[in-house]
C-alpha cells in the first residue's frame, strides 16, 4: 500500500489498519520474550488481553467495513487502544516498560482525526492511564531510589501529550482548513469558467440573431405596407416586437453586469416586482404571499440587473414542479432573520433530490433544476447572498434566498 492510498483512507480505516499491525507486533513480542529472553513476566495474561483485543478488532472491522464512522466512534476506538495498551503494560512492568510511550500513538491519530473536544478526551484518557500505571508500581528494592525517576518520566509524558495535542492538533486543523479553502477556490473557479462559457455562448447567439432579426423587421415593414390588412402580417407584429425587446433587454443586462451596477433597494420593492413578473409570465398562477410582521421601511438590500431574473428562475422552477403534480399554486414569502432578508418560494410538486439541493453545479435535470438554478445561485453569491433548497414537511420544495441587509 502506498502513502497516497493511506492518506486517502478515512480515520476509522487508518486506526483499524494500524491496530492490525500493532496486534501482529504484540504477538511477536510476547512470543519472542517467552522463547528467547529470560523473564519474570506471566505470558498467559498478555495473550488473553491480545485475544480480547483481536475480538474487539474483528467486531470493529465488521461494523465499519461498509459504513461511515462518526467522530464519537473514532474517539471510542482510540480510547479502546489506550485501554488495551494500558492492560498490556500493567502485566509487563507497568510504568517501567520501555514501550509505555506508545500511549502517545492514539493521541497522535486523534490529533489528525478528531475535533478539539474529542481529542481532549483521548489525551486525558492517556494521561490517566499512565498515572494509573505509575501509582500501581510496587516499592522499588534497588539501592538507588527510582521514585523521582518515574515521576520525571510521568512529567515528560504529560508534556509530550500537551505538545502533541496542541501542536499536532493545531497543524492538522490548519492543513484541513487550507485544503477546504483550496477545494472551495477550485470549485469557484470551475463554476466561474462554466459561467464565462455560458456568457460567451449567449453573447454569440445574441450577436448572430441580431442581424437576421433586423432583416426580418425590414421585410415585415415592407410587407405590412403592401398588405396592411392581411391577418398573417398582423400576427407577425407581436412576436417580432417581443424578440426585439428581449434582445435589447439582454444588452442592457450585459452592460449592467459588465459595469457592476449595484444599488440598494427596499425588500418590499423587490417583492412587488416579483409579484408583477409572476402575474405577467404566469397569469393563471395562484400566487399566495406571506409577509412577516416587520418594519421593512428602513431596510435595504443590494440588487443588480440579474437579481429579479434570478428569483424569477426559481419561480419558474416552482411552476414546472407544480405542473408535474397538477397543482397551480405557489407560496411567496418575505421575512427577516438575523440581519438578512429571506425570500422563500414554495411549490407543491414532488420535492427535490440531494444533487439539486446544492444549486452550485451545472447538472442535468428534467425537473427544472440545472443551468437556471446555477445562474441564479451565482447571482445571489455575487450579492453576498445564499440560496438553500429543501423539501417542505408536508409537500413540495422550498427555495429560500437569504440576502444581507445594507446601510441605506
**Which of 116-125, 149-158, 230-239 ranks highest by mean pLDDT?**
116-125
Among 40-49, 248-257, 336-345, name the one with the lowest average pLDDT.
248-257
Sign of the C-alpha dihedral computed for residues 44, 48, 50 and 51 taken in this order: positive
Share of the chain above pLDDT 90, in %: 6
The three cell numbers of residue 214 are 433586423
Q: Is the pLDDT of residue 34 over 80?
A: no
Instruction: Please say if the pLDDT value at position 372 is more than 90.
Output: no
User: Which range among 61-75, 226-240, 391-405 has the greatest average pLDDT?
Assistant: 391-405
* Average pLDDT score over the chain: 79
Q: What is the pLDDT of residue 83?
A: 92
CA 353 → CA 309, 350, 373, 381, 389, distances in Å?
Answer: 24, 10, 14, 22, 10
The pLDDT, as a whole number, for residue 59 is 92
- Tally of CB atoms within 10 A around 96: 16
- Say yes or no to pLDDT of 269 above 60: yes
Q: Does 253 or 381 have the greater pLDDT score?
A: 381
Better pLDDT: 141 or 370: 370
Under the banding of pLDDT at 50, 70 and 90, the label for residue 52 is very high
pLDDT at 274 over 50: yes
Which are the contacts of 54, defined by CB distance < 8 A and separation ≥ 6? 23
Looking at the DSSP assignment, which residues form a beta bridge with residue 286?
329
Asked: is 263-406 a CATH 3.30.565.10 domain? The reply is yes
Q: Taking residues 103-113, what's their average pLDDT?
A: 84
Residue 256 has pLDDT above 70, yes or no: no
Rounded to the nearest 10 degrees, how much is the dihedral formed by the CA atoms of 224, 228, 231, 233? 0
Q: pLDDT of 220-240, one tens digit each? A: 888 888 888 888 878 888 888
CB 328 within 8 A of CB 285: yes
Q: Where exactly are the structural domains of the chain?
A: 3-138, 187-258, 263-406
- Rounded to an integer, the average pLDDT of 77-106 is 86
Least confident of 46-55, 79-88, 131-140: 131-140
Pairing of strands 340-346, 286-291: unpaired
Q: pLDDT band for position 102 (50/70/90)?
A: confident
E strands, 231-376, are 263-265, 286-291, 300-303, 329-337, 340-346
User: What angle, 0 to 180 degrees and rounded to 10, lies between the N-to-C axes of helices 116-135 and 169-226?
Assistant: 170
Q: What is the pLDDT of residues 291-302, one digit of tens each?
A: 887 778 788 888
Three-state DSSP at 359 gives coil
Cβ-based neighbour number of residue 223 at 10 Å? 14
d(CA 194, CA 378): 11
Which pLDDT belongs to residue 145?
A: 56
Which range (79-88, 131-140, 332-341) has the least confidence?
Answer: 131-140
What is the number of residues in the chain?
Answer: 408
pLDDT band per the 50, 70, 90 thresholds, residue 146: low
Amino acid at each position: 500500500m502506498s502513502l497516497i492510498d493511506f492518506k486517502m483512507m478515512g480515520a476509522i480505516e487508518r486506526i483499524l489498519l494500524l491496530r492490525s499491525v500493532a496486534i501482529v507486533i504484540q504477538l511477536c513480542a510476547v512470543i519472542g520474550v517467552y522463547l528467547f529472553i529470560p523473564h519474570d513476566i506471566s505470558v498467559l495474561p498478555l495473550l488473553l488481553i491480545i485475544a480480547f483485543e483481536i475480538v474487539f478488532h474483528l467486531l470493529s472491522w465488521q461494523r465499519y467495513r461498509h459504513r461511515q464512522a462518526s467522530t464519537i466512534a473514532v474517539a471510542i476506538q482510540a480510547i479502546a487502544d489506550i485501554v488495551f495498551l494500558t492492560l498490556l503494560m500493567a502485566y509487563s512492568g507497568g510504568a517501567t516498560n520501555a514501550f509505555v510511550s506508545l500511549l502517545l500513538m492514539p493521541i497522535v491519530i486523534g490529533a489528525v482525526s478528531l475535533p478539539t473536544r474529542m481529542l481532549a478526551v483521548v489525551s486525558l484518557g492517556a494521561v490517566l492511564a499512565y498515572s494509573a500505571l505509575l501509582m500501581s508500581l510496587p516499592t522499588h528494592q534497588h539501592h538507588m531510589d527510582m521514585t523521582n525517576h518515574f515521576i520525571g518520566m510521568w512529567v515528560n509524558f504529560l508534556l509530550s501529550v500537551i505538545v502533541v495535542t496542541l501542536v499536532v492538533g493545531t497543524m492538522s486543523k490548519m492543513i484541513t482548513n487550507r485544503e477546504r479553502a483550496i477545494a472551495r477556490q477550485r470549485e469557484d473557479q470551475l463554476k466561474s469558467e462554466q459561467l464565462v462559457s455560458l456568457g460567451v455562448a449567449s453573447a454569440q447567439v445574441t450577436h448572430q440573431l441580431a442581424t437576421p432579426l433586423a432583416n426580418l423587421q425590414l421585410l415585415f415593414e415592407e410587407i405590412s405596407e403592401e398588405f396592411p390588412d392581411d391577418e398573417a402580417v398582423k400576427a407577425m407584429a407581436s412576436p417580432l416586437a417581443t424578440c426585439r425587446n428581449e434582445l435589447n433587454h439582454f444588452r442592457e443586462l450585459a452592460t449592467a453586469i459588465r459595469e457592476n451596477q449595484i444599488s440598494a433597494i427596499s425588500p418590499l420593492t423587490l417583492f412587488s416586482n416579483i409579484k408583477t413578473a409572476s402575474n405577467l409570465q404566469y397569469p393563471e398562477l395562484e400566487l399566495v404571499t406571506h409577509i412577516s410582521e416587520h418594519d421593512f421601511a428602513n431596510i435595504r438590500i443590494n440588487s443588480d440587473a440579474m437579481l429579479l431574473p434570478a428569483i424569477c428562475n426559481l419561480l419558474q422552477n416552482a411552476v414546472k414542479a407544480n405542473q408535474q403534480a397538477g397543482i397551480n399554486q405557489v407560496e411567496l414569502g418575505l421575512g427577516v432573520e438575523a440581519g438578512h432578508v429571506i425570500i422563500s418560494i414554495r411549490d407543491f410538486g414532488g420535492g427535490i433530490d440531494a444533487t439539486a439541493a446544492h444549486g452550485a453545479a451545472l447538472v442535468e435535470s428534467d425537473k427544472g433544476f440545472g443551468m437556471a438554478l446555477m445562474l441564479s445561485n451565482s447571482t445571489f453569491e455575487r450579492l453576498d447572498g445564499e440560496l438553500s433548497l429543501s423539501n417542505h414537511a408536508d409537500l413540495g420544495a422550498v427555495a429560500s434566498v437569504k440576502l444581507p441587509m445594507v446601510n441605506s
